[in-house]
A and B are shown apart, each in its own frame.
Chain A
């Protein structure tokens, strides 16, 4: 299989958007998705931080894949991932303190976002650097897109605001359950159903 051809690289990039979306289809890393989607701003920030880690870890894992004996690959991958997470955490704290404050403990928690580990194990440890780069970007975009949609729905319905600004009329009574933990499950469930519907109409006759 030639992975350097343009069309196959394009496929690696776009599969993360819908077809193999990390949240809706692979369904890994849901804990971060549930916890960080109470507001659109947090969700978007989480998406960006996640995308950076995803991309870097994919590139590094793919470039060292032939050097690492398979018995110790998991500890090596975890070391790589946690290094990048710590770099993101420190950099945010130093140069974007406002965002770092609102994301709080969830940036360090990207380490346990199993989708990063999942892609390292399932994809970049078996593919070229270029393909892994595309996979990382695609997964990052897919994750950021969906978590921001979830954050938007939860914030608008559950708090009457969007990106921190009031969007619902003042007399609107927020549906609190959506910003509480059960709300995340409800919204993800509805999105998954919608996603199934779209996929069936797009890919089946």
Chain B
């Protein structure tokens, strides 16, 4: 019985000390982590929409309005999709004419293959493209304007189709709201 009580109390104290020290570390690092994440997001927003000078979050972590001199210049979207190996997060902007201004991806795809979706060579293909052109050439040879990465069709298709479907659902939402 004494053994039993000792076991429980030792485990209890160990967990309590661990919890206490983690709470302390969390309190110290919380602010730097949050401000760093905010800075990262700000940098990303600027990168996908270089022409804007201000961003307004209209749907948390999903849609931002890009403003230039107080006027709406376009929108920025963030979306997530299942890639070949884990989730791919993308952020892209479109100007008021519906042309893509830039794209950024965060991923855990295979190095040397799917990871190439993060290269400028792949991402720059999206610039100035419009909704109907955002499809892989191999999926729609007539309208498609995006070249898939050799050996990484799944990753390329995931990115391209997600950009298109995000834009489509946003346009539908907007059309519905205008009525």
Contacts and interface: CB of A to CB of B under 8 A. Distances in A.
Interface of A: 38-39, 64, 67-69, 71-72, 75-76, 79-80, 82-83, 86-87, 90-91, 93-95, 97, 104-105, 158-159, 174, 176, 179-180
Nearest to B21: A83
Given A72-B10, A76-B10, A93-B33, A87 B22 contact: yes
A68 B14 CA distance: 9
B156 to A, nearest CB: 17
A79 B7 CA distance: 15
B112 A90 contact: no
Contacts of B25: 86-87, 90-91
A72 B129 CA distance: 62
Interface of chain B: mostly helix, strand, loop or mixed: helix
Nearest to A67: B10
Interface of B: 3, 6-7, 10-11, 14-15, 18, 21-22, 25-26, 28-29, 32-33, 36, 40, 108, 110-113
A67 B112 CA distance: 51
A86 B32 CA distance: 16
A38 B110 CA distance: 10
B112 A176 contact: yes
B29 A76 contact: no
A79 B36 contact: no
19 contacts: A64-B14, A71-B7, A72-B10, A76-B10, A79-B14, A79-B15, A82-B18, A86-B22, A86-B25, A87-B22, A91-B25, A91-B29, A93-B36, A94-B28, A94-B36, A158-B112, A174-B112, A176-B112, A180-B111
Contact of B112 (A64, A71, A86, A179): A179
A97 B36 contact: yes
A144 B91 CA distance: 36
Nearest to B151: A176
A187 to B, nearest CB: 15
A118 to B, nearest CB: 20
A72 B3 CA distance: 11
Contact of A38 (B3, B29, B40, B111): B111
B107 to A, nearest CB: 11
Given A93-B33, A94-B29, A69 B6 contact: yes
A159 B32 CA distance: 34
A159 B111 CA distance: 9
A80 B21 contact: no
Contacts of A39: 111
Nearest to A70: B7
A147 to B, nearest CB: 16
Contacts of B21: 83, 87
Contacts of B108: 104-105
A180 B110 contact: yes
Nearest to B28: A94
A174 B113 CA distance: 12
